[in-house]
Chains A and B, each alone.
Chain A
Amino acid sequence: MNAAISIAGVTPERDLAPVDRVQLGTMVRELAAAQRTFAFAGGGTDLEFGNAPRALDAVIRTTALDRVLDYAPEDQTVTVEGGMRIAALDAVLAEAGQMLPIDVGDRAHATVGGAIATNAFGARRHRYGSIKDLIVGVEIVRPDGTVARGGGKVVKNVAGFDLPKLMVGSLGTLGAIVSATLRVLPIPPATRAIALACAPSHPLYAACLEDRSLDPAAVTWSPGEGVLLVFAGLPAAVDAQLERVAARANDAGVAVRVLEPEAFARAQQRERDLRRRGAWRASIAQPPAAGAAPLTLAAGAEQLAYPTLGVTLVASDDEPFALADVERARASATVVLHAMPGRARASLDAWGPPPPAFPLMRALKAQFDPHGLCNPGRFIGGL
């Protein structure tokens, strides 16, 4: 049996686990016909994300939908069911020397559908883009139970509206992801990281990013590690780039350290932990050139920034910043709470003020879910 499940603190009456896509569709259709509210759950690794649903009669778990439907390594595409665990997909892809370059907090449990619904990303977004850049097709169950496809299985396709993009980051408010076709990429033959003991505000950082002989696969910054540049590709090219960065750092008088594999693995684990640990988790996003995030972090808060993306992750067991400052910070940055204790939910919106295009989003939600049955109230602006 499943452990008791709750979504942003709300426990449903019913905990449903359809065995396949047909049963998933039937359950949604029946719930919709009965005007019951429902939400979808994948691996349950981001159940605190978003606001508390206004009502929740049932949670429908997608984890039995865990098959690879079609994998063509020579086409670098894979079609998988939404409930497949990312680690399980990793294993299938690795046999052909390929990978899905999307970073999540908990690969063993997080599902493909969940990663799409939450627009999960991490350090590798710098080179490979987000799921929006990798998804080419999707099959969904709409909130009324209708099964619909968008996109396709080929990497290039402009037939019809781009429903796959619409599902990315929609947090299950437009329906369930039954399956998705994703581009996958070859695993680079070599990956190594080098740490610069400086902040992104240091001229060395900008110089490295402008240098056309350097092409980092990922860039992070944290107070403990400094700027971490990850290089991936041919071993000779990786080595040449490490040497070049080291030489630039020496010239700039900045301490530099090439990470041993174990140290790099620990750094990656710290990044993942920021997405899965702590009663409080937040992301602060602003234009990359805007500089430091407009929130003063509490002493105990952990943080990691993706300076080329302008995104900082924060995690903490106690309040990571003064909650009174959030509203002001939201004037210049997007501050999203990925997890917070139930007591804070009454006074703190997880998303902040809706963007200017919100009327279109509301209209979209009204088209897909006119009775507000699907994950109601969890998304931005009460959608």
Chain B
Amino acid sequence: MLDMFARLRWCDGGLTEPSEPRNFTPSERGACGCGDCPGAREWAPRSMIDVPAMTELPARFAAIVGARNTFSAPSDLRTYECDGLLGMRIRPEIVVLPGSTDEVAACVRLAREAGMPIVPRGAGTGLSGGALPVAGGIIIGTSRMTRILAIDLPNRRMRVQPGAINLDLSRALAPSGYYYAPDPSSQSVCTIGGNVAENSGGAHCLKYGFTVNHVVGARLVTSDGAIVDVGAWDGSADALGYDLMGVVVGSEGLLGIVTEIVVRIMRIPEATRTIFATFPSTDEAGAAVSAIISSGIVPAAIEMCDALAIEAIVAATGVDWPLDVGAALLMDVDGLAIEAEHTADAAIALMRDCGAIEIRAPRDAAERALMWKGRKSAFAAMGRISPNYHVQDGVIPRKDIAAVLREIAQLGRDAGLRIANVFHAGDGNLHPLVLYDAAKTGEEARAEAVAGEILRVCLRYGGSVTGEHGVGRDKACYLGEQFSADDLATMQLVRAAFDPLGIFNPDKLFPTPRLCGDVPGRYVAHPLEARDDVGRG
């Protein structure tokens, strides 16, 4: 028992009374406020003396969620050792799958009493290690809370449980002519709760915004086990007070666990036009994206694939895209039929001006679906052309796409590695895939180094180290390059307001000296993704 605590360091910033949030002085909390900075200390709960022996905990959790939903045997825990960042694995102490808000709250209270850090988990598809367990900690999974609770067409709202699959929302709404807009490529397996944690994006977020623009309310279990409704729960335009919902979305499981989620729903547009265009190189394709965006056109999506990505996608999915081109754009425009027609024509003209080789429209809905399947399965398709690959996620201003892609290509040449690019061009959200062979000595390390340098290129252009995959464990060490110590300390104030003891998802998001000595994980296709029915990116 005591050994377990000795292994844990808590980002509590020296707080002594969990019930009384207060400001920390810099000397108390250290520059970034993490548990490793000077002034921070190891924390053990006051009630430690009363905490039952570790061996009794599974039974106590089982009393809350049922024995069949409590896992503590090593063989049962293996599934939960990692999320989509498969290269990094930690065995949790216990995994529980509660079935209700009350059960989540009771689990949080018991975990807190037992001094166990809590890692929330949805479908475990995240790519940044946000659901990576903490040693000695508990995973609270939402996979039993999958119900759609209410559809409110007059107010254009829908209320769901956090374990509901993203795509199931739109499926449930389709008969009414509505849909839920954010569409991460993993939408057929990822959960809304996970989307809330990561502020998930997707190809069509270019026009309609990200998870944060569509989630308006949530029931939140906070670190003291309280159940709190945040945001505009009833369909009203805004909630009174601070926009807690806005800060909970994208907080990567550090501020609490959402157990019910209220989302905005939208009418399915009258018309959608899809255009596929090829270019001699990413220079011309990048110029076309810039020309389209700066002309005032707001497409629903513009995605870019370079030659390597096209090669992989063709090999994996059988789409009949040409292999002798340098880049391709896949674009959707939607809205009123008359506007979609006009916008598509204007975009096609701009693409031709920028040097498009060929422009195609899908013949029917099936061909359109195949085109998008090609795009959304691109990450897994890399397995066809490389034994291993590292998926990167960074953002740059949209006007600089061509220049940044040239710099990335140069980084690859310097390191002797191939880099494929398949990404959300309309948002400037890059996904360079650094290809390598782990069997060759030194290649993996070179790939990691190149992937890191790509993020630094993004920052040099005024961008971000993550556009949609999150910081998690994977990029905690880069956050300090994007934000100053004061910026991070300010974010820690937010964390301290929600979770003064740092119980939720410690060792994530914020950089710490200890974490940053670690080697980031490498991307391996998720088993579901490798089965070819799940997309990514």
Within 8 A of A (CB), among B57-94: none
The answer to whether the Cβ of A334 comes within 8 Å of any Cβ in the partner chain is yes
Residues of B near A174 (CB, < 8 A) are 242
Q: Assess A236 versus B228: contact at CB under 8 Å? Given A153-B397, A285-B236.
A: no
Q: Which listed residue (A121, A361, A370) contacts B241, Cβ 8 A?
A: A361
A367→B496 contact, CB < 8 A? yes
Residues of B near A298 (CB, < 8 A) are none
A107-145 toward B: CB 8 Å interface, digit per residue (1/0)? Answer: 000000000000101000100011011000000101010
Residues of A near B494 (CB, < 8 A) are 161, 163, 166, 364, 367
The answer to whether the Cβ of A34 comes within 8 Å of any Cβ in the partner chain is no
Within 8 A of B (CB), among A231-287: 233-234, 236-237, 240-241, 285-287
CB nearest neighbor in A for B498: A360
Residues of B near A289 (CB, < 8 A) are 152, 154-155, 235
Q: Assess A215 versus B335: contact at CB under 8 Å? Given A158-B198, A287-B155, A355-B240.
A: yes
The answer to whether the Cβ of B530 comes within 8 Å of any Cβ in the partner chain is no
* B520–chain A nearest beta-carbon distance, Å: 15
Residues of A near B199 (CB, < 8 A) are 158, 162
The answer to whether the Cβ of A64 comes within 8 Å of any Cβ in the partner chain is no
Q: Which listed residue (A74, A98, A160, A361) contacts B290, Cβ 8 A?
A: A74
Bound CA–CA A267/B173 (angstroms):
36
The answer to whether the Cβ of A336 comes within 8 Å of any Cβ in the partner chain is yes
A148→B487 contact, CB < 8 A? yes
CB nearest neighbor in B for A353: B240
Residues of A near B488 (CB, < 8 A) are 160
Q: Which listed residue (B246, B483, B493) contacts A160, Cβ 8 A?
A: B483
The answer to whether the Cβ of B269 comes within 8 Å of any Cβ in the partner chain is yes
B235→A288 contact, CB < 8 A? yes
CB nearest neighbor in A for B269: A212
The answer to whether the Cβ of A342 comes within 8 Å of any Cβ in the partner chain is no
Q: Assess A358 versus B483: contact at CB under 8 Å? Given A74-B399, A186-B296.
A: no
Residues of B near A163 (CB, < 8 A) are 247, 490-491, 494
Q: Which listed residue (B23, B198, B399, B483) contacts A366, Cβ 8 A?
A: B23
* Count: A-B pairs, CB below 8 Å: 266
CB nearest neighbor in B for A356: B229
Residue of B22, B234, B296, B484 ringed by the most chain A CB atoms within 10 A: B296
A165→B397 contact, CB < 8 A? no
B236→A286 contact, CB < 8 A? yes
A165→B243 contact, CB < 8 A? yes
CB nearest neighbor in A for B230: A357
Within 8 A of B (CB), among A281-326: 285-290, 306, 309-311
The answer to whether the Cβ of A379 comes within 8 Å of any Cβ in the partner chain is yes
Bound CA–CA A215/B238 (angstroms):
23
A156→B228 contact, CB < 8 A? no
The answer to whether the Cβ of A354 comes within 8 Å of any Cβ in the partner chain is yes
Residues of B near A212 (CB, < 8 A) are 177, 267-270
Bound CA–CA A132/B250 (angstroms):
14
* A26–chain B nearest beta-carbon distance, Å: 15
The answer to whether the Cβ of A149 comes within 8 Å of any Cβ in the partner chain is yes
The answer to whether the Cβ of B336 comes within 8 Å of any Cβ in the partner chain is yes
Q: Assess A170 versus B242: contact at CB under 8 Å? Given A287-B235, A356-B229, A366-B21.
A: yes
A160→B479 contact, CB < 8 A? yes
* B122–chain A nearest beta-carbon distance, Å: 16
Bound CA–CA A367/B496 (angstroms):
7
Q: Assess A288 versus B155: contact at CB under 8 Å? Given A154-B463, A158-B467, A241-B336.
A: yes
A159→B247 contact, CB < 8 A? no
B491→A361 contact, CB < 8 A? no
The answer to whether the Cβ of B244 comes within 8 Å of any Cβ in the partner chain is yes
* A383–chain B nearest beta-carbon distance, Å: 8
B294→A154 contact, CB < 8 A? no
The answer to whether the Cβ of B375 comes within 8 Å of any Cβ in the partner chain is no
Chain A contact residue count (CB 8 A cutoff):
86
* A200–chain B nearest beta-carbon distance, Å: 11
The answer to whether the Cβ of A352 comes within 8 Å of any Cβ in the partner chain is yes
The answer to whether the Cβ of B139 comes within 8 Å of any Cβ in the partner chain is no
The answer to whether the Cβ of A168 comes within 8 Å of any Cβ in the partner chain is yes
CB nearest neighbor in B for A73: B294
Residues of A near B427 (CB, < 8 A) are 154-156
**Chain A binder among B110-118, B208-216, B300-308:** B208-216
Q: Which listed residue (A121, A149, A354, A379) contacts B484, Cβ 8 A?
A: A149
The answer to whether the Cβ of A152 comes within 8 Å of any Cβ in the partner chain is yes
A75→B249 contact, CB < 8 A? no
* A304–chain B nearest beta-carbon distance, Å: 14
Q: Which listed residue (B270, B339, B428, B486) contacts A156, Cβ 8 A?
A: B428
Residues of A near B316 (CB, < 8 A) are none
A368→B493 contact, CB < 8 A? yes
* A98–chain B nearest beta-carbon distance, Å: 8
B237→A310 contact, CB < 8 A? yes
Residue of A142, A355, A383 ringed by the most chain B CB atoms within 10 A: A355
A240→B399 contact, CB < 8 A? no
Bound CA–CA A77/B293 (angstroms):
11
B424→A156 contact, CB < 8 A? yes
The answer to whether the Cβ of A380 comes within 8 Å of any Cβ in the partner chain is yes
Q: Which listed residue (B220, B236, B241, B483) contacts A379, Cβ 8 A?
A: B241
Residues of A near B462 (CB, < 8 A) are 152-154
* B285–chain A nearest beta-carbon distance, Å: 16
Bound CA–CA A150/B267 (angstroms):
32
CB nearest neighbor in B for A160: B491
B34-67 toward A: CB 8 Å interface, digit per residue (1/0)? Answer: 0000000000000000000000000000000000
B465→A355 contact, CB < 8 A? no
* B480–chain A nearest beta-carbon distance, Å: 10
Q: Which listed residue (A154, A288, A367) contacts B23, Cβ 8 A?
A: A367
Residues of A near B152 (CB, < 8 A) are 289
Residues of B near A73 (CB, < 8 A) are 294
* B16–chain A nearest beta-carbon distance, Å: 15
The answer to whether the Cβ of B282 comes within 8 Å of any Cβ in the partner chain is no
The answer to whether the Cβ of A97 comes within 8 Å of any Cβ in the partner chain is yes
Q: Which listed residue (B155, B226, B335, B466) contacts A157, Cβ 8 A?
A: B466
CB nearest neighbor in B for A166: B247
The answer to whether the Cβ of A76 comes within 8 Å of any Cβ in the partner chain is yes
Q: Which 3 A-B pairs have the closest CB atoms?
A: A165-B246, A186-B296, A287-B235
Beyond the given A148-B484, A363-B500, please list 10 additional residue pairs across the A-B interface where CB-CB is below 8 A. A130-B238, A149-B483, A158-B201, A159-B464, A162-B199, A212-B268, A214-B336, A288-B156, A289-B154, A367-B497
Q: Can you report 21 residue pairs joining A to B where beta carbons are below 8 Å apart? A: A146-B490, A148-B484, A153-B462, A156-B464, A160-B488, A160-B509, A161-B495, A165-B212, A185-B298, A233-B336, A236-B342, A240-B336, A285-B238, A287-B155, A287-B234, A288-B154, A289-B152, A310-B236, A361-B244, A364-B242, A364-B494
